[in-house]
Structure 1
Amino acid sequence: MSDMFRPRRRTVLAALSAGVLAAGGLAVATPSPALAYENSPVGFASLNGGTTGGSASTAVTVTTAAALKSALSSSTSQTVRVSGLISISGMYNVASNKTVIGVGSGSGITGGGLNLNSVRNVIIRNLVFRNANDDSINVQEGSTNIWIDHNDLSNGYDGLIDIKRGSDYITVSWNRLHNHDKSMLLGHSDDNASQDTGKLRVTYVHNWFEGTGQRHPRVRFANPVHVLNNYYSNIGSYGVASTENAGVYVERNYFENVANPTVTQTGDSDSGNIKVLNNYKVNSGTEQVRNGASVAAIPYSYTPEANNTVKATVTAGAGTGKI
């Protein structure tokens, strides 16, 4: 399982139209151009036994809300292939050992979102999320080994990708977030230290935050959190926030038109700790930092991308239709 963060250029060969590639890969009928992706998660989701998702040999394709809800909640280890933009209401629960993947570049969910509650080993890839009436993706109650990769998320009511309540070993990679304010929450409440301290370890890598407002992410308690090689463009309030004594390592990101790339306090929360290294800034302000031992070491090996190439890499590779 890869722990290398430098994007790899692969040519996806033709596959059977009803088949899937390994570990939640997308079925394709014709060769595609070489694009940046990983076929297994990097960062925290690669630890703790790894994240493989549902069985590729047990795959079901869904086109309706009823079929989607049934497949997601099934106890069977399987790959759920979402075909078309399916309108749902509320949050649909996702069971353990699932890969949920969109077919093509425009398939996904509108009107609602996905809830991962006390589950393990889930992959969510290549899905469009639009107009959720709550969170687009909500990970909570000790869920572990989750990989959220190559999705396109916008216009939700609350968070686009929220992770909370003691969840752990998660990677959020190659997603495009736009037309939204509060993007990614990590830790939901200042009063939840007993459940969250020592947990909420998340890697955010190669995501594109495009004209969003805040929470990219907004962190409580977690230490360390790794924010690496993301592209921030035209951000309204702030980029990354660390609060409630969290430890966040903000490394080699590309900030363009971001007045406050990092902040160490927001809202009513107590302050947190931020360590920065070699971020690339264009028309952007100075990072707020708290360097030192309060930000724990990253526990996996990796090879970061050079900061000045992040914009081109992420804009070419983030979002749907790229795997």
Structure 2
Amino acid sequence: MSETRSRRRRRAVIAVATVASAAVVGSTLAVTQMGASAAETSPVGYASMNGGTPGGSASTVVTVTSSSALASAISSGTSQTVRVSGLISVSGMLKVASNKTIIGVGSGSGITGGGLNLSGVKNVRIRNMVFRNASDDSINIQDGTTHVWVDHNDLASGYDGLIDIKRGSDFITVSWNKLHNHDKSMLLGHDDANASQDTGKLRVTYVHNWFEGTGQRHPRVRFANPVHVLNNYYRNIGSYGVASTMNAGVFVERNYFENVAKPTVTSTGESAAGNLKVLNNYKVNSGTEQVRNGASVAAIPYAYTPEANNKVKATVTAGAGTGKI
């Protein structure tokens, strides 16, 4: 028995060392683990590539409790961590500068009445924030913004999109968010006529998000290839789950669909069809996925370890949203 336990310990040490080695980030390719951990300290997927998304300085920290203080802190030229304390009422879209970590304190902090606008910036983390009743988008990422991590937020009841990514933005990970009580959840690519700016960009990883009673756009994709939709949980979806249009390439892998009549579609609105492939999605009282030209979906450019599809519901409902980091 002692020799058996010793061998098991040696194997465990080897396994840990192997995982640690796989987490090394190269100059152009991030090798990531996408297991069941609900509180990664750094992003997986696209936001981990090409230098990653470290966010604002952890040694320069400011806590804000008012709309004026919040607007000033997140738009300043200082690399810093901005701690949002309480649910702050704001008006319109607040400008976010580069090199920021915006993080809510506890489980109920965030903003109501407005949203965050990231335009032409880089290296931003938005974590543990509540977003309610935005007059436009809750989070708008546009105009070539790169390296953004949107993680462990709770978003609902906005006017337009909850998390919209467009106009040539790139290297973004959207993880562990809960989206509910809303129609148009997440747009990726804003217009059928924007191919020149968006083709080759809009690379986004959507992983471990929880969509509850939302209508459509989870996400709705134009041009981007490949987009990775992995290990998300969809329940009681009104119109459709994931849409690929305008020759986009979307890989929908090991998600959990419950009460979703159309888990995936390859056309919506007036947009031309996109490419979409599926792998091992778990379906409960849900329809058949639409696919198109699976070979036209490019390979995912990072290594990862997916979670088993039948475990996704339990993992995501336990870990997504605020108060989990």
Task: Indicate whether the TM-score tops 0.5.
Answer: yes
Q: What is aligned with 1:39? A: 41
Which of 58, 61, 84 does residue 60 from structure 2 map onto? 58
Query: Which blocks of at least 5 consecutive residues in structure 2 are unaligned?
Result: 1-22, 24-30
Q: Provide the secondary structure at the position in 1 that maps to 2:46.
A: helix
Q: How far apart are the structure 2 equivalents of 1:291 and 1:46?
A: 28
Q: Which amino acid aligns with 1:257?
A: N
Q: Deviations over 1:240-269 (max 9, x none)?
A: 000000000000000000000000000000
Q: How far apart are the structure 2 equivalents of 1:272 and 1:233?
A: 24
Confirm or deny that 1:247 pairs with 2:276.
Answer: no
Q: Provide the secondary structure at the position in 2 that maps to 1:293.
A: helix
Q: What is aligned with 1:155? A: 157
Which of 295, 302, 305 does residue 304 from structure 2 map onto? 302
Considering only aligned residues, what root-mean-square deviation do their CA atoms show, in Å?
Answer: 0.7
Task: Select the structure that is richer in helix.
Answer: 2
Superposition deviation, residue 291 in structure 1:
4.0
Maintained 8 Å contact 1:276/1:291: no
Q: What is aligned with 1:282? A: 284
Q: What is aligned with 2:7? A: none
Q: What is aligned with 2:177? A: 175
Superposition deviation, residue 290 in structure 1:
1.5
Maintained 8 Å contact 1:229/1:307: yes
Q: How far apart are the structure 1 equivalents of 2:196 and 2:285?
A: 40
Query: Which blocks of at least 5 consecutive residues in structure 1 are unaligned?
Result: 9-35
Q: What is aligned with 1:26? A: none
Q: Deviations over 1:108-164 (max 9, x none)?
A: 000000000000000000000000000000000000000000000000000000000
Q: How far apart are the structure 2 equivalents of 1:211 and 1:140?
A: 27
Q: What is aligned with 2:208? A: 206
TM-score where L is the length of structure 2? 0.90
Superposition deviation, residue 292 in structure 1:
2.9
Q: What is aligned with 1:3? A: 32
Q: What is aligned with 1:115? A: 117
TM-score where L is the length of structure 1? 0.91
Q: How far apart are the structure 1 equivalents of 2:76 and 2:145?
A: 17
Q: What is aligned with 2:15? A: none
Q: How far apart are the structure 1 equivalents of 2:308 and 2:55?
A: 30
Q: How far apart are the structure 2 equivalents of 1:320 and 1:202?
A: 21
Q: Deviations over 1:186-218 (max 9, x none)?
A: 000000000000000000000000000000000
Q: How far apart are the structure 2 equivalents of 1:5 and 1:238?
A: 25
Maintained 8 Å contact 1:7/1:37: no
How high is the sequence identity, in percent, across the aligned residues? 82
Q: Deviations over 1:161-182 (max 9, x none)?
A: 0000000000000000000000
Q: What is aligned with 2:259? A: 257
Q: Provide the secondary structure at the position in 1 that maps to 2:228.
A: strand
**Higher Cα Rg: structure 1 or 2?**
2
